[in-house]
């Protein structure tokens, strides 16, 4: 079986504007605090950077770039006060839009491999993002729960 990686890259790059428009619209509808303040134009730029990283990884069949980029984004967003859910939503809306495009134009015999390649790249990115957030959060002092209030009046 021949690889569908070139097909996936071509399909995604040919539909880049439509993919980013759909993803930016979905992100805007999510009403995430930090993304709402940045505005639609900045959201699209950020989604475009992730799109480029994903396509580069598909083209090279390497995950290093998406892992490194996701770790960097995790640090930047964590330090800016973004919740992990906000950033993961950005990944998810782009993934959904990319999937939709692939499903619309990919012949059935190539569907599993095409979606598998895309999911592998984005999955590696989301995993790196989550691991980085957990690592950063574990280094911060988190106040412990004051249990005395639970037992007052007993």
Q: Where are the domains of the chain?
A: 5-138
Residue 84 is predicted with a pLDDT of: 86
Residue 2 has pLDDT above 80, yes or no: no
Give the model confidence (pLDDT) of 11-36 as tens digits: 999 999 999 999 988 877 665 555 55
Topology of the domain covering 5-138: Globin-like (1.10.490)
Give the model confidence (pLDDT) of 65-107 as tens digits: 999 999 999 999 898 888 888 889 889 999 999 999 999 999 9
Q: Measuring CA to CA, how many Å separate 135 from each of 34, 72, 86, 149?
A: 21, 13, 17, 30
The pTM (predicted TM-score) of the whole model is 0.82
What is the spatial distance between Cα 100 and Cα 107, in angstroms, rounded to a whole number? 13
Residues 6 or more apart from 133 whose CB is under 8 A from it? 74, 78, 84, 87
């Amino acid at each position: 079986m021949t690889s569908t990686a070139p097909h996936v890259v071509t399909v995604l790059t040919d539909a880049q504007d439509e993919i980013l428009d759909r993803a930016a619209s979905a992100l805007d509808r999510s009403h995430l605090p930090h993304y709402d303040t940045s505005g639609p134009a900045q959201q699209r730029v950020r989604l475009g950077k992730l799109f480029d990283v994903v396509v580069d990884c598909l083209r090279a069949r390497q995950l290093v770039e998406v892992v490194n980029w996701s770790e960097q984004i995790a640090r930047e967003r964590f330090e800016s006060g973004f919740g992990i859910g906000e950033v993961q939503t950005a990944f998810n809306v782009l993934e959904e839009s990319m999937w939709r495009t692939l499903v619309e134009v990919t012949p059935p015999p190539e569907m599993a491999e095409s979606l598998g390649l895309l999911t592998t790249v984005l999955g590696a990115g989301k995993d790196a993002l989550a691991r980085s957030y957990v690592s950063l959060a574990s280094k911060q002092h988190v106040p412990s729960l004051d249990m005395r209030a639970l037992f007052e009046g007993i």
